[in-house]
């Protein structure tokens, strides 16, 4: 019987702009979105803005009984402003700077003892929050657990668990085989993102270092991902203590 494997996942946070990738990584340059102005008057038969720009720096309070433009006093101040047809609760201006939040929720994975007659299973989880970028991708890096010169075989195709042969694989969805295991991504209220097909088929597992395991196609709130792990060994798998490490890389796309 083989001793268990305890794997600590390291997390790496990258925010990469396609045009300024080198500068962002090396110097940590912030991104600013330039405002635009218009010379045309902003008006219709029912309203007119008397300011040259709209936003948190206006100089004139533009309002009637049915609407109000956010001005310097309202959007940068605090409190409530109301009339018959509108209400404004003023506070801080939301920043337009891109931000990518990533964290490992449960980094330690312990399979217990291995047996040729049954799969060993475990789970881990991580969270991604993505603000004002065009999305993100998450990759997994690292070898399957090993013992000395022997490394367990990663699953090169998306296939079910099979006892009696060496297999190491993961997916990021809920499973019922070999046991009830894992969960589908939890998007909360505003989260966006899912695993690609290779890691999104229930009861099928795969592991190739460097592959993408989650994709967020646009800016979103926080999504919680659960990684399901399975390990099968054969009667000829060398005994001893197996250990390994993986790195989860989350990269913002712009």
DSSP string, 146-165: EETTEEPPB-SS-B---TTS
* CATH H-level, domain 6-26+98-253: superfamily: Fimbrial-type adhesion domain (2.60.40.1090)
The number of angstroms, rounded, from the C-alpha of 252 to the middle of its chain's C-alpha atoms is: 9
Q: Are 99 and 86 in contact (CB under 8 A)?
A: no
243 confidence band (pLDDT: 50, 70, 90): very high
Q: Are 234 and 125 in contact (CB under 8 A)?
A: no
If one counts every other C-beta atom within 10 angstroms of the C-beta of residue 205, the result is 29
Where, residue-wise, is CATH 2.60.40.1090 in the chain?
6-26+98-253
Mean pLDDT of 213-237: 95
Q: Residue 156 half-sphere exposure, CB side, CA atoms within 13 Å?
A: 1
Q: Are 179 and 118 in contact (CB under 8 A)?
A: no
* Residue indicated by tokens 């990469």: 16
* Residue indicated by tokens 């600013």: 32
The one-character DSSP state at 75 is H
Number of helices (H), then strands (E), in the chain: 2, 15
The Cα-based distances of 95 to 1, 56, 106, 132 in angstroms read 56, 12, 30, 10
> How does pLDDT run across 74-128, given as a tens digit for each residue?
444 456 666 665 666 565 656 667 788 999 998 889 999 999 999 999 999 999 9
> How does pLDDT run across 126-172, given as a tens digit for each residue?
999 988 778 999 999 999 999 999 999 999 999 999 999 999 999 99
Q: How far apart are CA 148 and CA 151, in angstroms?
A: 8
**pLDDT value for 24:** 27
Q: Is this model's pTM higher than 0.85 or not?
A: no
Query: Is the pLDDT higher at 72 or at 208?
Result: 208
Helix (H, G, I), strand (E, B) or coil at 21: helix
């Amino acid at each position: 019987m083989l001793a268990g494997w305890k794997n600590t996942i390291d997390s790496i946070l990258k925010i990469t702009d396609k045009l300024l990738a080198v500068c962002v990584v090396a110097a940590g340059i912030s991104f600013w979105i330039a405002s635009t102005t218009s010379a045309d008057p902003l008006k219709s038969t029912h309203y007119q803005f008397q300011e040259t720009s709209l936003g948190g720096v206006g100089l004139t309070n533009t309002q009637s009984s049915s609407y109000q433009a956010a001005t310097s006093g309202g959007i940068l101040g605090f409190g409530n402003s109301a009339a018959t047809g509108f209400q404004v609760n003023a506070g801080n201006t939301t920043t337009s700077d891109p931000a990518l939040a990533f964290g490992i929720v449960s980094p330690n994975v312990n399979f217990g003892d291995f047996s040729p007659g049954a799969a060993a299973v475990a789970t881990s989880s991580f969270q991604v929050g993505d603000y004002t970028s065009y999305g993100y991708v998450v990759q997994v890096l690292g070898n399957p657990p090993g013992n000395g010169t022997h490394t367990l075989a990663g699953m090169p195709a998306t296939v079910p668990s099979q006892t009696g042969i060496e297999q190491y694989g993961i997916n990021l969805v809920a499973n019922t085989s070999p046991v009830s295991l894992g969960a589908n991504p939890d998007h909360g209220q505003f989260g966006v993102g899912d695993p690609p097909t290779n890691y999104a088929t229930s009861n099928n597992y795969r592991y190739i270092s460097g592959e993408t395991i989650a994709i967020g196609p646009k800016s979103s709130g926080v999504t919680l991902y659960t990684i399901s792990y399975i390990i099968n060994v054969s009667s000829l798998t060398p005994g001893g203590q197996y250990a390994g490490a993986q790195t989860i890389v989350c990269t913002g796309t712009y």
